[in-house]
Amino acid sequence: MIDSLLLEFMLIGLLGVGSQLVSWRFRFPAIVLMSVAGLLAGPIFGLINPEEDFGELYKPIISLAVAVILFEGSLNLDFKEVKGLGRPVFRIVTFGAFISWILGSLTAHYIAGLSWAVAFTIGGLFIVTGPTVILPLLRQAKLKPRPAKILKWEGIIVDPIGALLAVFAFEIIVFLTGNNESATSLLLFFAASLFAVFLGWICGRCVGWMFETGYVPEFLKSPTVLSIVIACFTIADEIMHETGLLSVTAMGMTLANMHISSIADMRHFKENISLLLISTIFVMLTASLTVDTLLQIFNVQIIGYVALMLFVVRPISIFLSTIRTDLSNSEKLLVGWIAPRGIVALTVAGYFASVLLGEGYEDASILISLTFALVFTTVVAHGFSIGWLAKKLGLSLEGPPGVLIIGGSAFTTGLAKTLEELKVPVLLTDSSWKKLSRARSRGIKSYHGEILSEQTEYYLNMTPYDYMIAATELDSYNALVCTTFVPEFGRNNTFQLSLSNRKEDDLEELVHTVRGRILFKEGASWEELNARVENGYVFRKTTITNQYTFAHYLEGIDKHSLLLFVKRNTGNVEFFNPETNPKGENGDIIVSLMPPIKEFEKIQEKLRRHHKANNSNI
């Protein structure tokens, strides 16, 4: 057992973030690795026990972390995004949640052997999925927009509803089995829930007003929002337990639909904080479990309950609630299967286990084991199956990493066509219809619109594209585009053309943090590349073999040739740039922009052959 709290914090952080890195590298579900890391550090090897070591600080830390995560998720709930999906989403989070509550409660009573009181309380809680588990899965699996948006909206909206439903069920039980004072507490519960929504709305409106009127400087906006989120959650939760989640959700949705420009900047900060919190909280929760709790999971009743929740309760609730909606059977099947439970289920279950035991319900002693069994099973099952099932149902955008090119020109059109011929997903965008004319005439997929416009994210699905190239004639615009999309694509995958040689631009001092990585090489500017294409330079594809190695290729190319990218035999694309120097291996395809010398040689050779054939016929 580690005695130092500082060392324990360090270990929790390393395990959480390390799990994220490993999951990204090997494409494993991150939550599975975090859970396993927590189990190894906690009940299995006994290195840490956060709940025991942190004492009274443990629950507040978990609660505040869940509040921030839920707020960050609700910042993405813009009603414009759900356009066309309003009816399915509404029915899933209302009728679907109610059906799931009833069926889950019946299953808990008849299969898990819980009393009616405990069954209906825990049945309300288990309707949640939540952003802590859904959002990482959606990042991992490239789903088509419709099912991805439905799962995201359901997870974020139902998260506070599930916690409130559990509280509501408990208050009803106390009312039916208690005295007249219980009626008052039931009314207080409804009043507190309404107050929580109002508090979240007013906090969101106040923050938006302060930002729009300039009452908060830029450097204080993120700290201000974080402080108000904590205050909003705490005030509501102190009035009535679990209403704080409803309050921060209302606040986030209010801000998301005010369309304040600075909210987009803060969203990146909140995403980073949320990712760190998810990584550490999952490790803390699983590390706090006991060996007895883990052994209790293998109880036949618990196994039967978990199986029915996965294969019966969830699919039935989705299919019944989406009758007469425009969702296809494939979409219903995918949404009906994907329902991982997460942090909210674990934390709230622990709270109700202690409360119900205090009220004399002895069967509540298995709630922690039951909850962890459901959480871990759903996280593993859904985490490893979402990609495979989406592909089988035709709802996946999984494929080779794609390239998003900004700026229509002769060069970008040729580059896009070459990528397309190599089966690499590519999209060429420009705000000028005229500049996209070459792409349209050559059948290249294009998008006419301003990439920096807020409306673009609602009409342009960027999921298939892993690389972004800003290749307009304006260096400052390219830098702005790259800076805007670095959080989404990553700095290593965001490129812009080399700065032009026009001295009046004076952009050489532009720091690297506010631009993309230089593509190809220094000096390969927009003017230079397009001049080459206009002068007849061609995009040449060369396959590297054991006989014709990359070294042979470099020796044979013209000194004026420009190396563009390597298409690996795995399907990945690696662009040449001043920072990296990829080398071609057996089976790779090297693409370069070459002078038309070889093309002229081929034409001349054909002419010679044709002339020789004519002479022989005479």
Same-domain check for residues 106 and 148: yes
Q: Is 614 a domain residue?
A: no
Same-domain check for residues 104 and 161: yes
Same-domain check for residues 297 and 210: yes
Same-domain check for residues 319 and 414: no
Can you give the CATH number for the domain in which 356 is found?
A: 1.20.1530.20
How is residue 130 written in tokens?
Answer: 């939540």
Q: Which of the four pLDDT bands, split at 50, 70 and 90, describes residue 182? A: low
Distance, in Å, from the CA atom of 300 to the CA atom of 310, rounded to the nearest integer, reads 16
Q: Is 397 a domain residue?
A: no
pLDDT tens-digit series, residues 281-321? 888 888 888 888 888 888 899 999 999 999 999 999 999 99
Residues 6+ away with beta carbon under 8 Å from 581: none
Q: Which residues span the domain enclosing 431?
A: 402-604
Range with the lowest mean pLDDT among 168-177, 308-317, 543-552? 168-177
Whole-number pLDDT of residue 448 = 87
Same-domain check for residues 232 and 379: yes
For residue 544, the surrounding DSSP H or E stretch is none
Range with the lowest mean pLDDT among 166-180, 185-199, 529-543? 166-180
Number of domains within the chain: 2
Distance, in Å, from the CA atom of 37 to the CA atom of 287, rounded to the nearest integer, reads 8
How is residue 351 written in tokens?
Answer: 């709270």
**Higher local confidence (pLDDT), 601 or 133:** 133
pLDDT tens-digit series, residues 230-287? 999 999 988 887 688 889 888 988 988 887 766 666 666 666 777 788 788 888 888 8
pLDDT of residue 611 exceeding 70, the answer is: no
Same-domain check for residues 261 and 349: yes
Q: Is 211 a domain residue?
A: yes
Same-domain check for residues 324 and 446: no
Outline where 75-144 has alpha helix (H).
86-91, 97-110, 116-125, 131-140
Q: Which of the four pLDDT bands, split at 50, 70 and 90, describes residue 139? A: low
Same-domain check for residues 326 and 434: no
Q: Is 26 a domain residue?
A: yes
For the ranges 64-78, 191-205, 338-352, 394-408, the maximum mean pLDDT occurs at 191-205
Domain-ending residue, one of 392, 415, 439: 392
pLDDT of residue 504 exceeding 50, the answer is: no
Domain-ending residue, one of 337, 363, 392: 392
pLDDT of residue 146 exceeding 90, the answer is: no
Distance, in Å, from the CA atom of 113 to the CA atom of 117, rounded to the nearest integer, reads 12
Q: Partners of 402 in the beta sheet?
A: 465
Q: Which of the four pLDDT bands, split at 50, 70 and 90, describes residue 364? A: confident
Q: Is 617 a domain residue?
A: no
Q: Partners of 574 in the beta sheet?
A: 566
Same-domain check for residues 92 and 219: yes
Q: Is 17 a domain residue?
A: yes
Can you give the CATH number for the domain in which 534 is found?
A: 3.40.50.720
Q: Identify the DSSP state of 82.
A: T
Distance, in Å, from the CA atom of 59 to the CA atom of 281, rounded to the nearest integer, reads 11
CA angle 366, 371, 372 (to 5 degrees): 105
Same-domain check for residues 382 and 406: no
**Is the whole model's pTM more than 0.85, yes or no?**
no
Residues 6+ away with beta carbon under 8 Å from 93: 153, 154, 157, 158, 161
Q: Can you tell me which residue has the tokens 């909280």? A: 281
pLDDT of residue 566 exceeding 50, the answer is: yes
Same-domain check for residues 262 and 305: yes
Q: Which of the four pLDDT bands, split at 50, 70 and 90, describes residue 199? A: very high
- Strand positions, DSSP E, 515-587: 517-518, 538-543, 562-567, 573-575
Query: For 482-509, what is the mean pLDDT?
Result: 71
Q: Is 611 a domain residue?
A: no
Average pLDDT, the chain: 82
Q: Is 214 a domain residue?
A: yes
Q: Partners of 364 in the beta sheet?
A: none
Cα-only R_g, the chain: 29
Say what the alpha-carbon torsion angle 304, 306, 310, 312 is, to the nearest 10 degrees: 40
Strand order of the β-sheet with 562-567 is 538-543, 589-594, 562-567, 573-575
**72-96 b/e (C-beta count within 10 Å ≥ 16 → b):** bbbbbbbeebbeebeebbbbbbeeb
Identity of residue 617: N
Query: For 21-30, what is the mean pLDDT?
Result: 76
Q: Which of the four pLDDT bands, split at 50, 70 and 90, describes residue 503? A: very low
Same-domain check for residues 388 and 439: no
Domain-ending residue, one of 358, 392, 426: 392
